[in-house]
Amino acid sequence: MHTRPNWAEISLSTLAENYRVIARHLGPGVTPCCVIKCDAYGHGVIETARALEEAGALWLGVTSAEEGVAVREAGVKLPILVMTGFWRGEEEALLRHDLIPAVATAEHVEALEREVATLGLQRKVPVHLKIDTGMARLGVSLEELPALAARIASSRAVELQGVFSHFSESEILDSPAAAKQREDFNHALQVLAAAGLRPRYRHLANTAATIARPDTWNNMVRPGIALYGYNLKCEGPGADQAVLPVRPVLTWKTRVIALRDIAPGTPVGYSQRWHAARPTRLAVIPVGYGDGFSRHLSKGGRVILRDSYAPITGNVSMDLTMIDVTDIPNVMIGDEVLLIGSSPHCAVGADEHARLAGTIVYEILCGLSPRVPRVYVE
């Protein structure tokens, strides 16, 4: 039961339109693999997956077998790529739910071969090979690639359906590191071809590269944050053109639960670092850092109330935040407040929260607490 007035509205029609914007930008011949990891960046993985399937999406990308199983059990039929591979013991779940794992070692291949034999499958298991081109996280190195390519080529149970890597800074359009990663990825394709492997799908581009680097698209890309309505801020030549007309999918709302009139000099909130400079009317809203409303917003943060900005006063606490509504006429208990969203004349995006918190949009969206219910609207 959710009765606390603090909720996030997810517009599935906006999500669908964002997907179509990206697909039109790519044109024919390039398949978007829609990234819905981390509960679809805080938007709800099940509802997001269903909406994308209905919108015409062709592929989905998740981070774990657990996520993939949840999406499959929700009835989604699309191919699902498990981008960070699998852990020991997850092989059966992958195969029974028709999930496509990333592999990066001979041990991955052997584990899948054993499970194919155990289940008595009469088909090869499609996999995507992860190449490490400069992140030093997951993936086979270029030095180890020839041996692993030969191992995959000899397998009777595993089929190399795709190969991929991941940019470290594709938003820097003249980045030497990104250029080197692209070069190394192309070299990896040559190594695979020499082993007789020509995977159907080849993908390197993340959101920034999907928007601004068509030379890296190959025949599959992995848009993430753009699906949810945010462009990454690119740098370098052509950065001013690196924008897609996507719109935020998530609007975060709450309501005024109390009003206080305080005298000049009155301290507000923890540490009493903020003092009223004039007779001030405060509104209290039931949201705090326990909901994912960053404490960094205590300095410079604002919300929208009655199509006007209301600055945050005092420190954001775990469950409550105070805002200055002195200059907003007729504020009443129960008035709706926008934490992330827009009104006719005002807007506060997750990107503004990220700037004030010294972080990135991804962390703001993924950081919305489970105690903030997601409400799905068209």
Kindly give the parts of the chain with pLDDT less than 70: 1
pLDDT of residue 315: 97
- Domain 12-235 maps to which CATH number in 1.10.110.30, 3.20.20.10, 3.40.50.300, 3.60.21.10? 3.20.20.10
Q: Is 41 among the catalytic positions?
A: no
Annotated catalytic residue, options 41, 124, 270, 299: 270
| 37 flagged as catalytic | yes
Given CA atoms 71, 73, 79, 81 in this order, what sign does their dihedral have?
positive
Q: How many CA atoms lie within 13 A of 292 on its CB side?
A: 23
Q: Which pLDDT score, from 0 to 100, does residue 1 have?
A: 64
| pLDDT 10s digits, 184-227 | 999 999 999 999 999 999 999 999 999 999 999 999 999 999 99
pLDDT tens per residue, range 221-280: 999 999 999 998 888 888 888 899 999 999 999 999 999 999 999 999 999 989 999 999
Tokens for 326? 């002195």
Question: Whole-prediction pTM value?
Answer: 0.95
37, 41, 130, 201: the catalytic one is 37
The residue ranges of every structural domain in the chain are 12-235, 250-377
Q: What CATH topology corresponds to 250-377?
A: Lyase, Ornithine Decarboxylase; Chain A, domain 1 (2.40.37)
pLDDT at 318: 98
